[in-house]
């Protein structure tokens, strides 16, 4: 029997490319600091909450200069939140930089996400362990979790664990919520003069942790290529059998970047974008009417098949739903400890909830099928987010479209057939073997994180820019975490969090979809991207997302 697949064996030997100046070696780079920064919004509140790490300058590593210190230090690393391809390579880059700097340095991996540092659950990462995980997908080297770090006693316990292991720096690999954790921890460590620094690395397949300094979050490249491969395969099937409409929900808890990128790679008949729905103030009914109209028009042309992409976060962008979900979030935060609510049957819960909602939200809630009601009432994650991956929006839309098409049939406006298939692509893409782009980008992010630590920085996010160019031209540096923060309502209270980057409706990426929508709706312009290629011509193996290319070309 095989122990690993032939591809995995080859990938273990892949040598990730390091970003420009970092390739000179960890002991041969020099830090340059820019002007001080401010937070993206709510400056006063953020400055007050993060007095010790607020407003620091943007950092950049320059060509060979004064050597960074190679003083001995131990580092702890945490994988946090949803899995994303490339996480193992961030750790590999960090590990290699640490050992090159000083072979006596140690890297500890905290197990199961942020709770590992609080509960003192860790392993020392050795070459033997590390070498089994290079260029592989998944977070299984140390596991991940979504624990929110915000309580004084969590920070105190983390400090004790760090002291025990002589750790003077922590790297948190995560998305917006996880890097909010990183910022809170960095502030606490600085306020208490612990001498421990905290550096974040930008991860999330959702692609919504980005800004002028962070061009892309890792994992987005591989995950969208994986979804595009699957969508392409389904398009071929639909175009062969010509009998099904496939409704495909794609991950992306809030922003619709994944859906937009997958659409540009595959050119399906319908693509919903949550941000557009919100901007146009579309109701659920209007979305259904829009989709039913395309289904009917294609049917008039003899095409009773098609592909519709639906972003996972759609439901929270529909204005009426958004208002109702915000009220539900506040209500559920209050009912969390209410034993009579917790022990109530589903129907009793629905009547408690509807009695507390305002008239329009209560009417809307009651109009939903009970599966969707139950999914909307599920526990929020530890950061207060609705678990949209568990809400079957694709099935809700299918049911509503069926009703609409029946009505249209009676009015003589739909003469065709409608047979549906529902899919949800999310977990399928989160642990794929990282593409060459993600393998290289992640390795550089991890290596760079240690360069930031050795430069004495605290409360920064590792940043690698110029990523549409070859890796030798990538620019390495750091962005202060407070620069990305604003205040948002979570669990019924205002909290500091990193602001999500949503799809820009006046940007080149959305415009590329908008300009082609009608053509793609009626004609079959399907593209079949095929599987990610790891070996072969660079024009196939090293290209990154259409989103990044369009954004960087503007």
Burial class (CB in 10 A: 0-12, 13-18, 19+), 393: buried
Q: What is the largest CA-CA distance in the chain?
A: 79
- In whole angstroms, what is the distance from residue 271 CA to residue 190 CA? 46
Burial 49-75 (b: 16+ CB within 10 A, else e): bbebbbbbbbbbbeeeeeebeeeebbb
Number of neighbouring beta carbons within 10 Å of residue 324 = 24
Bridge partners, 245 (sequence order): 306, 420
520 by Cβ neighbours in 10 Å (0-12 / 13-18 / 19+) ranks as buried
Task: Give the residue among 443, 449, 455 at the shortest CA–CA distance from 70.
Answer: 455
206 is an active site residue: yes
> In whole angstroms, how close is the CB of 191 to ligand FBP at the nearest point?
27
CB of 216 to ligand FBP, least distance (A): 13
Catalytic, out of 96, 206, 221, 440: 206
Residue 259: name the closest of 214, 210, 313 by CA: 313
Residue among 429, 545, 554, 469 nearest 504 (CA): 554
Q: Which one, 17 or 253, has the nearer CB to ligand FBP?
A: 253
Helix (H, G, I), strand (E, B) or coil at 516: coil
Closest separation between CB of residue 271 and ligand FBP, Å?
17
To the nearest whole angstrom, how small is the minimum distance from the Cβ of residue 201 to ligand FBP?
12
Give the whole-angstrom CA distance, residue 37 versus residue 84: 29
Nearer to ligand FBP by C-beta: 202 or 306? 202
Report the candidate in 216, 220, 185, 215 with the shortest Cα–Cα distance to residue 200.
185
The nearest distance, CB 120 to ligand FBP, in angstroms, is 23
Q: Which is nearer to ligand FBP, 171 or 408 (CB)?
A: 171
Report the residue number, 109 or 429, with the smaller CB distance to ligand FBP: 429
Q: Answer whether 104's CB lies under 8 Å from 150's CB.
A: no
State which residue, 12 or 422, has the beta carbon closest to ligand FBP. Answer: 422
Structure tokens at 528: 């079949």
Q: Which ranges constitute the DSSP H helices of 270-410?
A: 274-279, 284-300, 314-317, 319-335, 339-342, 346-356, 359-367, 370-376, 393-410
Tell me the residue length of the chain.
554
Select 93 or 311, whichever has its Cβ closest to ligand FBP: 311
Residue 113 Cβ vs ligand FBP, minimum distance, rounded to whole Å: 10
What's the min distance (Å) between Cβ of 260 and ligand FBP? 14
| Other beta carbons less than 10 A from residue 502's beta carbon | 17
Q: Which residues of the shown chain bind ligand FBP in the complex (CB under 6 A)?
A: 81-82, 84, 175, 204-206, 251-253, 312, 388-389, 430
Residues 481 and 498: their CA atoms lie apart, in Å, by 8
- Of 171 and 475, the one with the shorter C-beta distance to ligand FBP is 171
Closer Cβ to ligand FBP, 238 or 485, answer by number: 485
Q: How far is the CB of 386 from ligand FBP (least distance, A)?
A: 9
Judged by beta carbon, residue 296 or residue 391, the one nearer ligand FBP is 391
The three-point CA angle 257-317-500 to 5° equals 50
Nearer to ligand FBP, 224 or 467 (CB): 224
CA distances from 239 to 154, 236, 373, 516, 532 (A): 55, 5, 35, 19, 22
Rounded to whole angstroms, how far apart are CA atoms 148 and 155? Answer: 11
Q: Which residues contact 302 (CB under 8 A, 6 or more apart)?
A: none
Shortest spacing between CB 312 and ligand FBP, in angstroms: 6
Using alpha carbons, select from 22, 69, 16 the residue that is nearest to residue 463. Answer: 22
Task: Give the orientation angle of helix 87-101 with respect to helix 436-454, to 10 degrees.
Answer: 40
CA geometry: angle 170, 45, 321, nearest 5 deg: 90
Question: Taking the complex as a whole, how short is the minimal distance between the CB of residue 437 and ligand FBP, in angstroms?
Answer: 17
- Helix/strand/coil (H/E/C) assignment for every residue in 381-397: CCCCCCCHHHCCHHHHH
Contact 1, 125 (CB under 8 A): no
> Which residues are known catalytic residues?
206
């Amino acid at each position: 029997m095989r122990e690993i697949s032939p591809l995995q064996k080859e990938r273990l030997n892949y040598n990730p490319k390091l970003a420009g100046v970092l390739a000179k070696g960890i002991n041969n780079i020099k830090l340059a600091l820019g002007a001080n920064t401010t937070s993206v919004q709510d400056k006063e509140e953020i400055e007050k909450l993060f007095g010790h790490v607020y407003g620091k300058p943007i950092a950049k590593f320059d060509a060979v200069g004064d050597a960074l210190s190679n003083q001995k230090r131990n580092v702890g690393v945490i994988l946090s939140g949803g899995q994303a391809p490339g996480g193992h390579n961030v750790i590999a880059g960090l590990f290699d930089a640490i050992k090159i700097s000083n072979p006596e340095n140690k890297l500890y991996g905290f197990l199961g996400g942020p709770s590992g540092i609080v509960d003192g659950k860790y392993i020392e990462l050795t070459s033997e362990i590390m070498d089994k995980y290079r260029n592989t997908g998944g977070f299984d080297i140390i596991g991940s979790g979504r624990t929110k770090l915000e309580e004084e006693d969590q920070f105190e316990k983390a400090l004790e664990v760090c002291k025990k292991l002589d750790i003077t720096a922590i790297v948190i690999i995560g998305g917006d919520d996880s890097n909010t954790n990183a910022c809170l921890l960095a502030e606490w460590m600085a306020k208490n003069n612990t001498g421990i620094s905290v550096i974040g690395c930008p991860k999330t397949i959702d692609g919504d942790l980005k800004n002028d300094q962070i061009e892309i979050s890792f994992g987005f490249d591989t995950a969208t290529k994986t979804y595009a491969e699957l969508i392409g395969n389904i398009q071929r099937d639909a175009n062969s059998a010509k009998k099904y409409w496939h409704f495909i929900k794609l991950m992306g808890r809030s922003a619709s970047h994944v859906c937009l990128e997958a659409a540009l790679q595959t050119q399906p008949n319908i693509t919903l974008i949550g941000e557009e729905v919100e901007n146009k103030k579309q109701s659920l009914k209007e979305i259904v009417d829009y989709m039913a109209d395309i289904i009917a028009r294609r049917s008039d042309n003899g095409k009773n098949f098609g592909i519709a992409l639906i972003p996972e976060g759609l439901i929270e962008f529909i204005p009426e739903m958004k208002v109702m979900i915000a009220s539900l979030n506040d209500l559920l935060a209050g009912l969390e400890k209410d034993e009579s609510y917790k022990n109530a049957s589903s129907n009793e819960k629905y009547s408690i909830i509807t009695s507390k909602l305002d008239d329009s939200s209560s009417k809307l809630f009651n109009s939903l099928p009970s599966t969707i009601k139950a999914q909307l009432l599920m526990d929020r994650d530890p950061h207060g987010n609705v678990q949209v991956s568990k809400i079957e929006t694709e099935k809700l839309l299918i049911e509503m479209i069926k009703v609409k098409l029946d009505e249209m049939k009676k009015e003589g406006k739909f003469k065709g057939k409608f047979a549906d298939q529902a899919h949800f692509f999310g977990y399928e893409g989160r642990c794929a073997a990282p593409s060459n782009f993600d393998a290289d980008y992640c390795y550089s992010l991890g290596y760079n994180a240690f360069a930031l630590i050795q430069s004495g920085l605290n409360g920064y996010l590792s940043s690698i820019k110029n990523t549409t160019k070859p890796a030798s031209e990538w620019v390495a540096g750091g962005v202060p975490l407070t620069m990305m923060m604003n205040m948002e309502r979570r669990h019924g209270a205002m909290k500091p969090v990193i602001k999500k980057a949503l799809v820009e409706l006046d940007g080149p990426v959305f415009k590329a979809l908008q300009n082609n929508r009608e053509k793609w709706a009626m004609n079959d312009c399907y593209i079949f991207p095929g599987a990610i290629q790891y070996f072969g011509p660079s024009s196939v193996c090293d290209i990154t997302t259409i989103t990044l290319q369009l954004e960087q070309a503007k």
